[in-house]
Amino acid sequence: MGITEGAIYRHFSSKEDIIRHLTKGITEELSRLIVVEVLPQKTFRERITKLVEVLMVYAFTNPDNFRYLTVYHILREEVPQEDLPGRRILEMFKTAYRRGETDLLPEVALSIVIGSVDRIFILREIGLTTVPEDELIESLKKAILKALT
């Protein structure tokens, strides 16, 4: 990257500080996408469709960030709980469950979405599928809608 270790540590006090900064930046970015693009959708089906699209596009567009989130999600205590993208998605599913828009437990719905997005991303990353990204996204939207509604 052309940056010396000394230059990095003028901005950060430790490796842990770097990790906290990275985690916070990525989670804020993804949370903002959820708040701005997903939550305003009118129906549960529209929110699910947009959620899958946002997560997949984010993963394909920002593979390093997405990979980091999936590997280092255990660092969640480093970021305020309300800022975590998964927390926002879980709240969306809790609301849908209370309204009767889905009969799946919110935690199960969250696992289906996050797990599916992660697996498709990995299949694409390791070259196990060469299906174009837009086709993968559309097919995943259909599958998740069937599972959740």
Q: How confident is the model at residue 26 (pLDDT cuts 50, 70, 90)?
A: confident
**Tokens in use for 129?**
């599928």
Closest by Cα among 72, 61, 69, 63 to 114: 69
What residue ranges define each of the domains in the chain, with the CATH number in brackets? 11-148 (1.10.357.10)
pLDDT, one tens digit per residue, over 71-115 is: 665 445 555 555 678 888 999 999 999 999 999 999 999 999 999
Do 137 and 57 contact (CB within 8 A), yes or no?
A: yes
Report pLDDT for 11. Answer: 73
State the chain's maximal CA–CA distance in angstroms: 55
pTM of the predicted model as reported, rounded to 2 decimal places: 0.85
CA distance 83 to 80: 6
CA 25 to chain centre: 13
Q: How confident is the model at residue 24 (pLDDT cuts 50, 70, 90)?
A: confident
Q: Characterise 104 by phi-psi region: left (phi > 0), alpha (psi -120 to 50), beta (else).
A: beta
Report pLDDT for 78. Answer: 52
The residue-averaged pLDDT of 53-62 equals 96
